[in-house]
Amino acid sequence: MNLTTPALLFPAISLLLLAYTNRFLVVAQLIRTLIRQNQDDPNSDLTDQILNLKIRIEAIRRMQVLGVLAFIGCVLAMFFLFLNQATIGTGFFALSLLLLVASLCFSLYEVQISGRALNLQLKGLEFK
């Protein structure tokens, strides 16, 4: 493995972290809006939505942490490959890939939560 192999993940991880941050900001804004609405007119449906969004925020934070750790793993892999320590560099690259997969698994989990919440809301519209 050469120095450019871990460098190939840099743009992918950067874009992934940007997408995760955008998700976080959108969900955080939605939580703030729902909390204001709930303070004006307390509603158990709003409380349930806020709790669901809290679970999503936790998943997004885990996605972000694992993505950052994957990025750090790539940097360390490149550093050790630069020092001609191929075994250590390869190990950090493998760790980086595993962290990236874990991050993507949390992303899938968060998408599933979001989808279930939307299905519940849509089901409520069908009955009205």
Asked if residue 127 has pLDDT above 70, the reply is no
pLDDT digits over 32-65, tens only?
999 999 888 887 778 888 888 999 999 999 999 9
Q: What is the pLDDT of residue 128?
A: 54
Residues 40-51 as b/e (b if ≥16 CB within 10 A, e otherwise) read: eeeeeebeebbe
What confidence tier does 110 reach under pLDDT thresholds 50, 70, 90?
Answer: very high
Across 60-78, average pLDDT: 96
Residues 18-39 as b/e (b if ≥16 CB within 10 A, e otherwise) read: eebeebbeebeeebeebeeebe
Asked if residue 100 has pLDDT above 90, the reply is yes
